[in-house]
Structure 1
Amino acid sequence: MVIHSESEGYKAESLFLERPDKLTSAKRFAIFTAVVFCGPTSGLRFVAPDSKHLSREGGKEVAGITSFGAYVPYYRLSRKEIARAWDSYPGDGYRAVANWDEDTITMAVEAVIDCLRGFNRDIVDALLFVTTTPAFHEKSSAAVIAKATDLKNDLFVLDCGGSLRAGTAAMKLALDTVKAGAQKNVVVAAADCRLAPPNSGAESDFGDGAAAVMIGDQNVAVEIEGVYSYTEEFTDRWRRANDQFVKTWEERFVNTQGYNRLLTITVTNALKRFNLKPQDITKIIYPAHSKTAHTRCTMLGACGFTKAQVQDPLFDKIGNTGTAHPLQMLVAALEDAKPGDRILLVSYSDGGDVFNLKVTENITKLQGKRRGIKKHVATMKDLPNYGRYLLFRGLVSREYEAPAPVPYASLPREWRERNSIMSLHGSKCRKCGEVQFPVERVCPKCLSKDDYEEVSLAQKPAKIYTYNKDFATPTSDPPNSMCQVDFEGGGRIQCIMADRDPNELEVGMPVEMVFRRFHEEKNIIHYYWKARPPREPKK
Structure 2
Amino acid sequence: MSYIKSYGIALPHFKIEDVVLHPKGKKGVTKSVCFTDEDLITLAYEAASKLELSPSLREGWGGINLKPDAVLFATSTPVFKSRYHASFLADLLHLPQGILALDFTNSTRSGTDALLLANTLIDSGKYKNILVVAADVHFPAIGKELSTPFGHAACAILVSKEVGVAEITAAKSYSSSLAEEFSYKINTIQYDPRFSRDAGFKTNLTNSLKDFVTNPKQYDAVILNSLYARMAGGIFAKAGFEETQFAKDTLISKIGNTGAAHGLLLLINELESTPFPSGRAGDGTILLADYTNGTNFFEIKTFGTLKEKVVQEQLKNVELINSYQDYLLLRKAGNYNSANYETKEMFSSEMMQEREKDTLQYLKGLKCDECGTIYYLKSTRCKKCKGDKFSTVQLAKHGTVYTLASEHYFPSSFPPINMLVIDLDGGGRVTVQQTDTMYPEKNKIQIGSKVKLVLRKMIENDAKPNYFWKGIKI
Shorter-chain TM-score category?
Answer: 0.7 to 0.9
Out of 349-358 and 473-482, give the one that drifted further: 473-482
**What pairs up with 1:195-344 in 2 under 5 angstroms?**
195-200=139-144, 205-240=149-184, 248-249=190-191, 251-253=193-195, 255-271=197-213, 275-277=214-216, 279-289=217-227, 293-298=228-233, 299-303=235-239, 304-307=241-244, 309-337=246-274, 338-344=281-287
2:22 alignment counterpart:
83
Q: Is the 8 A contact 2:7 2:157 kept in 1?
A: yes
1:414 alignment counterpart:
353
Q: Which runs of 5+ in 1 are unaligned?
A: 1-61, 398-402, 535-539
2:38 alignment counterpart:
102
Which of 391, 398, 415 is residue 461 of structure 1 equivalent to? 398
Which of 93, 110, 115 is residue 149 of structure 1 equivalent to? 93
> Is 1:391 aligned with 2:334?
no
Which of 47, 64, 67 is residue 111 of structure 1 equivalent to? 47
Q: Is the 8 A contact 1:69 1:331 kept in 2?
A: no
Give the Cα separation in 1 of the matches to 2:238 and 2:380: 68
Question: Structure 2 vs 1, CA of residues 522 and 115 (structure 1 numbering), >3 Å: closer, same or farther?
Answer: closer
Question: Structure 2 vs 1, CA of residues 480 and 265 (structure 1 numbering), >3 Å: closer, same or farther?
Answer: farther
Q: Is the 8 A contact 2:72 2:102 kept in 1?
A: yes
Q: Is the 8 A contact 1:425 1:454 kept in 2?
A: yes
Q: Secondary structure at the match of 2:207?
A: helix
Q: Is the 8 A contact 1:483 1:495 kept in 2?
A: yes
**What pairs up with 1:416-455 in 2 under 5 angstroms?**
416-449=355-388, 451-455=390-394
Question: Offset at 1:230?
Answer: 0.8
Amino acid at match of 1:73: P
Give the Cα separation in 2 of the matches to 1:404 and 1:470: 21
Question: Structure 2 vs 1, CA of residues 461 and 356 (structure 1 numbering), >3 Å: closer, same or farther?
Answer: same
1:132 alignment counterpart:
76
Q: Is the 8 A contact 1:122 1:152 kept in 2?
A: no
Q: Is the 8 A contact 1:285 1:329 kept in 2?
A: yes
1:43 alignment counterpart:
none
Amino acid at match of 1:329: L
Q: Is the 8 A contact 1:465 1:484 kept in 2?
A: yes
2:301 alignment counterpart:
358
Tell me which structure has the larger Cα radius of gyration.
1
> Is 1:376 aligned with 2:314?
yes
Question: Offset at 1:137?
Answer: 1.0
CA RMSD of superposed structures (Å): 2.9
2:277 alignment counterpart:
none
> Is 1:181 aligned with 2:125?
yes
Equivalent residues, number: 449
- What TM-score do the two structures reach when normalised by structure 1? 0.76
Question: Offset at 1:157?
Answer: 1.9
Q: Secondary structure at the match of 1:444?
A: coil
Question: Structure 2 vs 1, CA of residues 307 and 490 (structure 1 numbering), >3 Å: closer, same or farther?
Answer: same
Q: Secondary structure at the match of 1:102?
A: coil
Out of 113-122 and 525-534, give the one that drifted further: 113-122
Give the Cα separation in 2 of the matches to 1:222 and 1:360: 6
Give the Cα separation in 2 of the matches to 1:96 and 1:257: 33
Q: Is the 8 A contact 1:404 1:474 kept in 2?
A: no
Q: Is the 8 A contact 1:77 1:97 kept in 2?
A: yes
Question: Structure 2 vs 1, CA of residues 441 and 418 (structure 1 numbering), >3 Å: closer, same or farther?
Answer: farther
Q: Secondary structure at the match of 1:333?
A: helix
Give the Cα separation in 2 of the matches to 1:203 and 1:417: 46
Q: Which runs of 5+ in 2 are unaligned?
A: 55-62, 275-280, 336-341
Give a deviation string over 1:249-301, Cα, whole Å, max 9, x none: 55545544433443343334321xxx221x32111122133xxx444543443
Give a deviation string over 1:507-537, Cα, whole Å, max 9, x none: 3222211111113799422111111134xxx
% identity of equivalent residues: 26
Give the Cα separation in 1 of the matches to 2:176 and 2:269: 29
Q: Is the 8 A contact 1:112 1:211 kept in 2?
A: yes
Question: Structure 2 vs 1, CA of residues 502 and 248 (structure 1 numbering), >3 Å: closer, same or farther?
Answer: farther
Higher relative contact order (CA 8 A, sep 6+): 2
Q: Is the 8 A contact 1:425 1:438 kept in 2?
A: no
Give a deviation string over 1:214-241, Cα, whole Å, max 9, x none: 1112232211110121101222232356
2:471 alignment counterpart:
531
Amino acid at match of 1:348: Y
Question: Offset at 1:117?
Answer: 2.1
Give a deviation string over 1:62-82, Cα, whole Å, max 9, x none: 521111111111111111111
Q: Is the 8 A contact 1:481 1:502 kept in 2?
A: no
Give the Cα separation in 2 of the matches to 1:533 and 1:247: 45
